[in-house]
Amino acid sequence: MARKSSRKKRKFKPFRFIVLMLILAILITSGAALGLVFVSVKDLPAWNENALVPSTATQIYDKDGIQVSQIGLENRVQVSINDVPENVQNAFLAAEDHYFYEHHGIRIEAIIRAAYSDALHFAGINKQLQGASTITQQLVKLTFLTPEKSLKRKIQEAILSFKLERRYSKKEILEMYLNQIYLGEGAHGIQAASQTYFGKDVGELTVAEAATLAGLNKSPNYYSPFQNKDQSISRRNQVLKSMLEYNFIDQETYDQAMSEELTLKQNDSESDSNYPYPYFVDYVTDELIDKFGEDKVFKGGLKVYTTMDPKVQKYAETAMANPNNFPASQKNAEGIMQPQGAMVVMDPDNGEIRAIVGGREHTHMRSLNRATMSPRQPGSAIKPILAYGPAVELKGMGPASIIDDVPVTYSAYSNYSPKNDDGVYHGLVTMRTAITKSINVVAVKLFTDYVKMPEAINFAKRMNINLDQTGPAMALGGLRNGVTPLQMTAAYAAFDNHGIYNDPVAILKVEDQDGNTLFESENTSRRVMKETTSYLMTSLMQSVVQSGTGTGAQIGRPVAGKTGTTDEGKDIWFAGYTPDLVGVVWIGYDTPTRMQRSYGGIYPARVWKEVMQQAHKDIPSHNFIEPPGITTATVDNKSGLLPGANTPPEDMVTDIFAAGTVPTKTDNVHVLTEVCATTGLLPNQYCPDRITRVMLKLPYTVPKNVADYSMRVPTEMCDVHGPAETFDNDDESDDSSFSWQELPSDLREQDNGNN
């Protein structure tokens, strides 16, 4: 028989076991929780207060201070809480956290309620997860944390929320939150959302509009009024109901807001684009980056006040997009290629750029801007800058000054011989005639012989056109590096602006997001020519538009301008101005290519006319202002001197002069010359008839292909008439004493004419 054990067997006590298990579970859970808290604290994101100020888009304003565009990584406009109406603030509090001013960053009861709801969700009882985040927690999550849903992230969120509440006031937290949240349609922050959906600043929102925006935070895409208007209104009404329930609005305000129609911003062609006025904005962007760097420009929320006139900019963009304003496209090995174009419009009084278009289409941000980045050969458009302007300014010449358009060769420059586009040498012409017809030889002679190249190049340098001396062909646009439309516009503006040059200006002022001025443009005006020079040049270029190569730019008001066409039409230009605006148009291929039957007076003048007619619609027509020191005189248009005794009436011309440049000598070119009536050459002793003509006498000879060759004093002797023939005395005729002089005068003229 087995012996019984002396140790008593303990009776199992379930209650004690449960208690022990609970204690063990609590210890394990507490240890795990402490471990989780430790890990959460250890991995807590670095506290970076700069992150609380989000990247903010740079705002671009036009010349009238109206916002027209923005640049930045996000569509966000920083706004002070003081500029956010109380009703807007309350709408977000009602929708997201009506106890905001009572808690210290988190609400324990909300967390417990959310945890219970989430447990039911995971058990398949409750379909929807319950949110429990306060506005402070949401801000922390937006700023420091990832969207990951985990207990660790929740612990970090709570820790950071307490820290945020200790460092900032409730108003500061609410301001940061309203500037951080994403509200759909690319709008970050309350101000950007207000502009996106309603086309107004946040300070102008109604209660109903504020509730609409507050309702977006729950699901920006689903509740977008652009995408789902009915759902947006339903969500708005829920927010309004909460505002009434939490005493943020009274019953009357609630009723009025509930009945308000949802009126959204109308998306016209300009506002519908995320990138309006792209070439102008690109130009401004590049200037800003040069001054402030990319981070400041794309993230710093700058306010940039520009010189752009949106109407003129749009006119130029439309004209550049019109295929009728361009020569036909051409085929090459790579397919169809189309000619490109560029245009700049400027206010001549101050250099402020009103429009920049750098191509027919804008393909991507900061595309090639041909208006500012592509120097091209200017053709005859450079003549006022390198030939006529210096001649007037430096040599005292004027519209009635005379240049002989005859063949010339420059042996020092590889026997360069300029040719006229029409193939004609016109002889003695005034400067007005020469520029009106764009006579090449005259421009080359002015540049090379009258002014001299270095002086002409220095004159151009005054207007920021810096050129290397290459030879006489420079006068016709044969430049080593070319010029941009922007450079040409600024230079022509000096002729328009009474001889005063202004550096081109696109940015007037830059402020940071707090309103502090970071940059302000300075007056850079300087005199580059006499006022009388600019007026005489304007008068000359008015003739180009009135009756010369630029008639295609006539717009029914005073216009001055100059065409430009390079060899084979590879670059074609029109540079023109009124008393109010100056504009330059260039057309050509990016890789210089021949354009048949293309001239500056056709397509560029057409673009210029289309833009300027619209740009001047609201500007009264008026003339260019004549300065003091301009006088009028009549001169001989073959010598440029005062009419002499031999000056024919048809060779007298009345024109304007700068005071002190009216000639004092009389014409010595027209002379009375006896010539053979038959040949027009100098008579020999046998010429039966001689006549005296008024002819042109100069100390040199010209070839016969010069248009006025027949008007010049001949240098050759008549070779038709010789010694008179003797009659045969054996002649049976009784007429040995016959004389031509005995014939009736009418028969003599007839016979002479038949001789």
Q: What is the pLDDT of residues 649-669, one digit of tens each?
A: 999 999 999 999 999 999 999
* Among 40, 69, 74, 96, the one annotated catalytic: 96
Give the mean model confidence (pLDDT) for residues 617-630.
97
* Interatomic CA distance for residues 448 and 440, integer angstroms: 12
Taking 50 as the threshold, does the pLDDT of residue 119 lie above it?
no
Taking 60 as the threshold, does the pLDDT of residue 461 lie above it?
yes
* Among 40, 380, 534, 539, the one annotated catalytic: 380
Cβ atoms of 172 and 160 within 8 Å: the answer is no
Q: Out of 290-304, 342-356, 597-611, which region has the weakest mean confidence (pLDDT)? A: 290-304
Taking 70 as the threshold, does the pLDDT of residue 732 lie above it?
no
Taking 80 as the threshold, does the pLDDT of residue 673 lie above it?
yes
Q: How many CA atoms lie within 13 A of 476 on its CB side?
A: 19
8 against 685, higher pLDDT: 685
pLDDT tens, residue by residue, 104-115 = 767 666 555 554
CATH of domain 373-501+528-590: 3.40.710.10
- The pTM of this model reads 0.76
Domain boundaries, the chain: 71-259, 373-501+528-590, 628-664, 669-755
pLDDT category at 735 given cuts 50, 70, 90 is: very low
Amino acid, res. 718 = C
pLDDT tens, residue by residue, 530-580 = 999 999 999 999 999 999 999 999 999 999 999 999 988 999 999 999 999
Cβ atoms of 678 and 702 within 8 Å: the answer is no
Give the mean model confidence (pLDDT) for residues 192-218.
92
Give the count of beta carbons closer than 10 Å to the beta carbon of residue 104: 11
Taking 50 as the threshold, does the pLDDT of residue 43 lie above it?
no
Taking 80 as the threshold, does the pLDDT of residue 14 lie above it?
no
Two structure tokens written together for 9: 């067997």
List, as one string, the DSSP characters of 319-369.
Answer: HHH-GGGSPPPEEETTEEE--EEEEEEE-TTT-BEEEEE-SS---STT---
Share of the chain above pLDDT 90, in %: 65
Q: Quick check: is 224 catalytic?
A: no
Q: What contacts 604, CB < 8 A, 6 or more positions away?
A: 341, 563, 572, 573, 574, 585, 586, 587
Share of the chain above pLDDT 70, in %: 81
Cβ atoms of 143 and 51 within 8 Å: the answer is yes
On the question of a common fold for 71-259 and 373-501+528-590, the answer reads no
Taking 90 as the threshold, does the pLDDT of residue 11 lie above it?
no
Give the mean model confidence (pLDDT) for residues 695-707.
95
Pairing of β 58-61 and β 303-306: parallel
Taking 70 as the threshold, does the pLDDT of residue 4 lie above it?
no
Give the mean model confidence (pLDDT) for residues 695-720.
95
Tell me: domain 71-259, CATH 1.10.3810.10, correct? Answer: yes
Q: Which pLDDT score is estimated for 739?
A: 34
Mean pLDDT score of the chain = 85
Q: Quick check: is 96 catalytic?
A: yes
Two structure tokens written together for 57: 């888009």
